[in-house]
Chain A
Amino acid sequence: MSILAERKQKGLNYHGGRKDSMTRLAFYGIDAIHLEERDELLPGRLIVIEGTDSVGRSTQLRLLRPWLESSGYAVVDTEMTRSKLVGAGLKQAKEGHTLGPITLNLFYATDFVDRFESQILPALRAGFIVLTDRYIYSLMARALVRGADPHWIRSIYGLALKPDAIFYLHIGVEDLIPRVLQRGGFDHWESGMDMRLGADLFESFVNYQTLLLAQFEAMIEEYGFEVIDASQPVARIAEQLKERVLPLLPQG
């Protein structure tokens, strides 16, 4: 069904469910990039899919994108460690054994800001729908689990724009384990092996993901996550996402 038809069916009027038709310039902290000075409006939409490793974020993004595009919306997607500036350097640094937690956090922050300034913002200015696989929340959760000072990490990411929606794919560790096994086993970083939280990959994975999920849970209310139960079938999750994305879309 086309997006327009869905809209009609749901009784949404032409102007959609939003009063303002722009991504408002709202920040969590200091507008360090000085967006308020130069951007009077951003006609695009910023939609975030959050959730822990292997929860099915990319599967959902792969379903959302063609759905939006077939209805004529220009879509840009972006994910972590894909920045032109640090993507390669970060990957290389993670392969070594000298990367400390503060350095790791700042490497990620650099990657984020590069993508934010060179991919996300230009797309929002040009009226694109920006779908992002993770945003600052994953980065903050990882940092906090690694002992970062909460005030410090929040103030760094305070320059990020508040998204139009944050969909949090919620899952418990017990439901996560079979997915990881199916996908090919436990990954070093996804198991938090840099912190050695257990005798082996499995134990460390369980402990690390438990800590990570607790950080996400604590953010739900503070950042206004829209929680989606990720233990449901893929198609059911996709349906729920589309239903919630629909009223966010610009008209015309």
Chain B
Amino acid sequence: METYGLHRYPGRLFIVEGVDGSGKSTQIALLRQWLISEGYTVFFSEWNSSPLVKKTTSRGKKKQLLTPTSFSLIHATDFADRTEHDIIPPLKAGAIVLADRYIYTAFARDVARKVDRQWVRELYQFAVKPTVAFYYRVPLEVSLSRILTGRTELKYYESGMDLGLSNDPQESYKMFQERIVNEYEAMVDEFGLTVMDATLPIPEQQRRMRKIIRPYLQGVRRIRSSAQESAWAGLAREMRPSHPDIQVRDR
């Protein structure tokens, strides 16, 4: 079994992290569109999405069967299934894998639930180390207002009600998020997370993200040229109606 840092694959793995309401999902969705338009093969993987494990997790949440430790383990199981199916094989095949939330989400949430810091890090030893891990940093009051306005219900585990911090879900959520932010901040140096200012305008954040990623794209195979190059190629083809057999290379 290969462990964190030892994996060597031709693909690239870019991940985004941050609290709810940091805007990270928006950024990775924009990045995905761009990479596709540039002609790369892109795989997208979301937190908590394994078809094998999903049912068990939602059962555990609905019936409130989860302790901090089993909560941690069921999410690690979910992540393992994604690693074995959605992350390692595409990376081996030379694709670009994008992940919305990664192991740092588990580290932040589980430790906020008082799971042992060291134990949970060892639990995720099988994970692939990302090429770049972006952390979308946002002031707590900004993310809280983004999430709490216009939203009526917070779920039990989502708001950290299992911790017994407060009987009020909103109050509990705030206290839980605060702990999570503290964990993220402590991980910036520990894991070399790339900090992004999530208060900037969305296009500016995206511009910076692409700039950071661009050097890592060197040597990654494209299935076709970028949309822009294809447009030029198409134009060139139209310009030569008398020579229909002339192939314009678009690979």
| Contact A100–B85 (Cβ < 8 Å) | yes
For window 17-63 of B, CB contacts with A under 8 Å fall at 50, 52-53, 55-56, 59-60
Say which size band chain A's interface belongs to.
35 or more
A92 to B185, CA, bound (A): 39
Which residues in B have their C-beta under 8 angstroms from that of A98?
A: 52, 81, 85
**Is B118 positioned at the interface, with any CB of A under 8 Å from its CB?**
yes
Contact of A85 among B70, B84, B126 (CB under 8 A): B70
CB contacts (< 8 Å) of A33 on chain B: these are 67, 69
| B7: min CB distance to chain A, Å | 13
Q: Which residue of A lies closest to B68 (CB)?
A: A33
- Does the CB pair A30–B73 fall under 8 Å? no
**How distant is the Cα of A101 from the Cα of B88 in the complex, in angstroms?**
13
In the complex, whether A103 has a CB less than 8 A from a CB of chain B is: yes
> Contacting A149 at CB < 8 Å: which of B65, B119, B126?
B126
Q: Is A140 an interface residue (CB 8 A)?
A: no
List the A side residues contacting B3 at CB < 8 Å.
Answer: 149, 152
B-contact bits for A137-161, CB 8 A (1 contact / 0 none): 0000000000111011001101100
Beyond A96-B52, A106-B77, whether A32 also contacts B70 by CB under 8 A is no
Residue A131 at the chain B interface, CB threshold 8 Å: no
Tell me if A103 and B73 are in contact (CB < 8 A).
no
Given A103-B84, A117-B67, A152-B3, check contact A85 B119 (CB 8 Å).
Answer: no
Task: Report A-chain residues with C-beta under 8 Å of the C-beta of B123.
Answer: 155-156
Q: Do the beta carbons of B114 and A34 come within 8 Å of each other?
A: yes
Q: Are A32 and B116 in contact (CB under 8 A)?
A: yes
Q: A34-B114, A100-B80, A147-B1 are in contact. Are A110 and B119 (CB under 8 A)?
A: no
Q: How far is the CB of B3 from chain A (nearest CB, A)?
A: 6
Contact indicator B52/A30 (Cβ below 8 Å): no
Interface residues of A in 107-134 (CB under 8 A from B): 107, 109-110, 113-114, 117-118
Are B116 and A31 in contact (CB-based, < 8 A)? yes
Question: How close is B250's CB to chain A, nearest CB, in angstroms?
Answer: 36
Which B-chain residue is minimally distant from A87 (CB atoms)?
B56
In the complex, A34 Cα to B111 Cα: how many Å? 12
- Whether the pair A102, B84 counts as a contact (CB closer than 8 A) is yes
Chain B residues with CB below 8 A from A147, complex form: 1
Q: Which residues of B contact A107 (CB under 8 A)?
A: 53, 77
A159 contact set on B, CB distance < 8 A? 69, 119
Most buried by B among A31, A101, A103: A103
Answer yes or no: A86 CB below 8 A from chain B CBs. Answer: yes
Q: How large is the interface on B (under 10, 10 to 19, 20 to 34, 35 or more residues)?
A: 20 to 34
Q: Tell me whether A103 and B119 are in contact in the complex, defined as CB-CB below 8 angstroms, given that A149-B125, A152-B125 are known contacts.
A: no
Q: Is B115 an interface residue (CB 8 A)?
A: yes
From A110, which residue of chain B is reached at the shortest CB distance?
B73
Shortest distance between the CB of B188 and any CB in chain A (Å): 24
**Chain A, range 77-92, C-beta contacts under 8 Å to B:** 84-86, 88-90, 92
Taking the complex as formed, is A41 at the interface, i.e. its CB lies under 8 A from any CB of chain B? no
Q: A residues within 8 A CB of B73?
A: 106, 109-110, 113
Chain A residues within an 8 Å CB radius of B84? 100-103
A99 near B: Cβ within 8 Å? yes
Whether the pair A103, B77 counts as a contact (CB closer than 8 A) is: yes
Task: Please indicate the chain A residues that have their CB under 8 angstroms from the CB of B125 in the complex.
Answer: 149, 151-152, 155
Contact present for A89 and B65 (CB under 8 Å):
no
Task: Tell me which residues across on chain B come within 8 A of A106, comparing CB atoms.
Answer: 73, 76-77, 80
Interface centre among B1, B53, B66 (most CB of A within 10 A): B1
Q: Judge whether A85 and B80 touch: CB under 8 Å.
A: no
A85 adjacent to B118 (CB under 8 Å): no
Chain B's nearest CB lies how many Å from the CB of A39?
14
Minimum-distance CB pairs A-B, first 9: A100-B84, A89-B56, A106-B77, A32-B119, A155-B122, A110-B73, A103-B80, A32-B116, A103-B81
Given contacts A32-B116, A85-B59, A110-B76, 20 further A-B contacts (CB under 8 A): A30-B118, A32-B120, A85-B60, A88-B56, A93-B52, A96-B52, A100-B81, A100-B85, A102-B84, A103-B50, A103-B53, A105-B80, A109-B77, A113-B69, A149-B3, A149-B125, A152-B3, A152-B126, A156-B119, A159-B119
- 26 A-B residue pairs with Cβ-Cβ distance under 8 Å, sorted by A, are A30-B116, A30-B118, A31-B116, A34-B114, A85-B56, A85-B70, A85-B74, A88-B56, A89-B59, A96-B52, A98-B85, A100-B84, A103-B53, A103-B77, A103-B81, A106-B76, A106-B80, A109-B76, A110-B70, A113-B73, A114-B67, A114-B70, A149-B1, A152-B3, A155-B123, A156-B119
List residues of chain B with CB under 8 Å of any chain A CB.
Answer: 1, 3, 50, 52-53, 55-56, 59-60, 65-67, 69-70, 73-74, 76-77, 80-81, 83-85, 114-116, 118-120, 122-123, 125-126
